[in-house]
Chains A and B, each alone.
Chain A
Amino acid sequence: MKIILIFLIPVLAFAKLNILTTTTDLKYLVQTIGGDKVDVDSICKGTQDPHYLEAKPSYSLKANKADLMVSIGLDLEIGWLPLIIAGARNPDIINHHLVAGNFVDTIEKPIGPVSRSMGDVHPLGNPHILLDPLNAVKVAEKIKDRLSLMDKDNEAVFSKNFADFKNLITEKMKVWEKHSGKKVITYHSTLSYFYKRFGITNVAILEPKPGIPPSASHILDVMKTAKEQNVQLALVENFFDPSVAERVAKEVPGMKVKPVAVSVGGADNIKTLIDLYDYLLKEIYE
């Protein structure tokens, strides 16, 4: 018995926290704060639309083995995460579920009553919160607090990693904030937080309503607005078909269409949130 204990103690002492996130952006934050003290995986990949995912049973199997679930909330994952959690039968992720959206001030919160005639509207606000670097810092701090609570022995490591991340964002913001004043059109309101932070004006959305594909009349309206406001750039999240934006661009002199990644892992060269912010600014301003 003593021999078994001798073998078990080192295993327990070095057991890493197993964390499952819903998105790759959250995975990056957990990995950044947790370092080598955590194993982390994401359900949604960077090339997928996080609103619409199939709840594969294999995701429930991953959730079954997790110590902590980290999600965005704000109804982003409402179509698939409840099914994954129910199938996982893991009390740990019911009791340890960190919802990032609870810790940021959301934008585009609908005023007044909402109904499905408004499309896939999010009553609690736009859920693409991590496209604002300062929201990423807020969420990273909550991840640091939660990891410290679950693994007190490594609290100092998590605090240092968070401080490093915060300093990195602070330094990068000095460069990033030099950009401002561009007008764009976008397929879906994924980049609203990014635009707000960096002074970019989104003149029109190609979806007439959230989650509803563009109609012919709406495309004509977008063309008219883009011409009037001399918009030169259309960004299409790379999980959407860019052909509608290309039709608009044909009618708007000088307009370019760029399919863009909007998550970590959305393109091969985007390994971190820093890469993502750098990449988006480069795509918009160069």
Chain B
Amino acid sequence: MKIFLLILFICSSAFAQEWVSRGSMFNPDIGVNALFLYQHSNQETEINGFSFEEMELQFTADVDPYLRAQLILAVEREEGGNSYGVEPEEAYAQTINIRNTIFQFGKYYFNFGKHNLLHPHNFPMIDLPLINQRLFGEDQLNMPAVGASYLFSLPWYFEILADYGQGHNDELWQDTERRNQFLNIHLKNLWDLNPDTTLEWGLTGGSAAENVSLWQTDLTLKWRPMVGGKYHALEWQSEFMGRDNEDLWGFYSHLKYQFLERWWLTYRYDYADPEGEEIQRRNGLLVAFAPSEFSAFRLETDYNSTNRDTRVLLQMNLTIGAHPAHRY
């Protein structure tokens, strides 16, 4: 009897151990990012003070040998109120086993240039650029879609990305009730000018319901030396975009300089020219301290010369768990 119980115990504990380890091995990588903000404006005084800006819950895992999935749930303050809502910021699957091609489906940020792909904790400055804000609003160009991208085997990096989706966007379309269609094609080129420096040039065309057509182009120069690159780096990124039918266009240009291992400075100039309205111009300066890859404190001041608004913002950015690396 004792032998039988011993065998039973050994078998059950071995099974339990295997079950636990296998179970946890196949769990998705889970990460949480939270943004806290203090801001002070001399014009929009109702926004002054502390706020819990957003929390993102991110789940990432391979589905099977063919697909990888990512789900990002955003918990954010609802506009004009103190209550919070949960919504799927992104939820998509991508193929992983097809040569040169990635097919993608779900809800995600469209490849409309550089800034549109970023989540708030990864914005170069705390706020959206003025032109991105005017074109797409706070939610950016993000909707349920299917997409494909193809990487060409050329001497430089050249990729074509296409997205076709359907959704709502209050800034883009007059009919805000209807789910409208959007087709987006982006060309991405990147050259290694030398081991320290890359130059990226992108071009986007978008065509949507209500005869909306959009264009975009971006240019990014990045420098991080092979020797001493832990302490110094430079990034200069400019993005121009507009909408043909309403004569809205604008650009931003930022210069980011890492001057110590955990410190960097960013300057941005913003410009948006909407037809029939005053031209918007904004200068912003940000200093950031990142104690580690998982936390950052960013202090920004900006001045909008159109409405004479001076703002000071302090953002605290925390990440726990497994957070996938950000795109280059």
Main secondary structure of the interface of A (DSSP, over half): loop
Which of chain B's residues has its CB closest to A79's CB? B325
User: When the two chains form their complex, are residues A64 and B325 in contact, meaning their CB atoms are under 8 A apart?
Assistant: no
Chain B nearest Cβ from A42, distance in angstroms: 12
List chain B residues, Cβ under 8 A from A52. 230
Q: Which of B95-103, B135-143, B203-211, B306-314 contacts A (4 or more CB under 8 A)?
A: B95-103
Of the candidates B94, B96, B157, B294, the one whose C-beta lies within 8 Å of that of A61 is: B157
B15 within 8 A of A: no
Query: In whole angstroms, what is the CA distance A60 to B198 when docked?
Result: 14
B6 within 8 A of A: no
Query: In whole angstroms, what is the CA distance A64 to B157 when docked?
Result: 11
Query: In whole angstroms, what is the CA distance A79 to B325 when docked?
Result: 6
Which of chain B's residues has its CB closest to A213's CB? B261
User: When the two chains form their complex, are residues B227 and A56 in contact, meaning their CB atoms are under 8 A apart?
Assistant: no
Chain A contact patch, size range: 35 or more
Chain B nearest Cβ from A57, distance in angstroms: 4
Interface positions of A from 2 to 59, Cβ below 8 Å from B: 45, 47-49, 52, 54-58
Chain B nearest Cβ from A122, distance in angstroms: 14
With A56-B192, A241-B231 as contacts: A211 and B292 at CB distance below 8 Å = yes
Of the candidates B94, B101, B188, B198, the one whose C-beta lies within 8 Å of that of A56 is: B198
Which of chain B's residues has its CB closest to A88's CB? B151
Of the candidates B100, B191, B294, B324, the one whose C-beta lies within 8 Å of that of A82 is: B324
B77 within 8 A of A: no
List chain B residues, Cβ under 8 A from A166. none
Q: Which of A89-97, A98-106, A174-182, A272-280 contacts B (4 or more CB under 8 A)?
A: A89-97
Chain A nearest Cβ from B1, distance in angstroms: 37
Query: In whole angstroms, what is the CA distance A90 to B141 when docked?
Result: 29
User: When the two chains form their complex, are residues B68 and A86 in contact, meaning their CB atoms are under 8 A apart?
Assistant: yes
User: When the two chains form their complex, are residues B224 and A54 in contact, meaning their CB atoms are under 8 A apart?
Assistant: yes
User: When the two chains form their complex, are residues B231 and A57 in contact, meaning their CB atoms are under 8 A apart?
Assistant: no
Interface digits, A95-121 against B, CB 8 Å rule (1 contact, 0 not)?
000000000000000000000100110
With A65-B153, A89-B151, A240-B230 as contacts: A57 and B328 at CB distance below 8 Å = yes
Chain A nearest Cβ from B33, distance in angstroms: 14
Of the candidates B99, B226, B261, the one whose C-beta lies within 8 Å of that of A90 is: B99
User: When the two chains form their complex, are residues A89 and B100 in contact, meaning their CB atoms are under 8 A apart?
Assistant: yes
List chain B residues, Cβ under 8 A from A213. 261-262
User: When the two chains form their complex, are residues A89 and B98 in contact, meaning their CB atoms are under 8 A apart?
Assistant: yes
Query: In whole angstroms, what is the CA distance A211 to B237 when docked?
Result: 29
Chain B nearest Cβ from A60, distance in angstroms: 7
List chain A residues, Cβ under 8 A from B188. 57
User: When the two chains form their complex, are residues B325 and A58 in contact, meaning their CB atoms are under 8 A apart?
Assistant: no
User: When the two chains form their complex, are residues B292 and A58 in contact, meaning their CB atoms are under 8 A apart?
Assistant: no
Which of chain A's residues has its CB closest to B229's CB? A48
With A61-B151, A89-B102 as contacts: A83 and B97 at CB distance below 8 Å = no
List chain A residues, Cβ under 8 A from B293. 79
User: When the two chains form their complex, are residues A116 and B294 in contact, meaning their CB atoms are under 8 A apart?
Assistant: yes
List chain B residues, Cβ under 8 A from A94. 96-97
Which of chain B's residues has its CB closest to A90's CB? B99
Residues of A within 8 A of B (CB): 45, 47-49, 52, 54-58, 60-61, 64-65, 79-80, 82-83, 86-91, 94, 116, 119-120, 211-213, 238-241
A56-B190, A58-B198 given; 20 more Cβ-contact pairs under 8 Å: A47-B227, A48-B229, A52-B230, A54-B224, A55-B327, A56-B192, A57-B190, A58-B157, A58-B191, A61-B151, A79-B293, A82-B325, A83-B324, A86-B94, A116-B292, A119-B292, A120-B292, A213-B261, A241-B230, A241-B261
Residues of B within 8 A of A (CB): 68, 94, 96-102, 151, 153, 156-157, 159, 188, 190-192, 195, 198, 200, 222, 224, 226-231, 261-262, 292-294, 320, 324-325, 327-328
- Can you name 27 A-B residue pairings with CB atoms under 8 Å? A45-B226, A47-B226, A48-B229, A49-B230, A54-B328, A55-B325, A55-B328, A56-B192, A57-B157, A57-B159, A57-B188, A58-B190, A61-B153, A61-B156, A64-B100, A80-B325, A82-B324, A83-B325, A87-B151, A89-B151, A91-B98, A91-B99, A94-B96, A94-B97, A116-B292, A239-B227, A241-B231
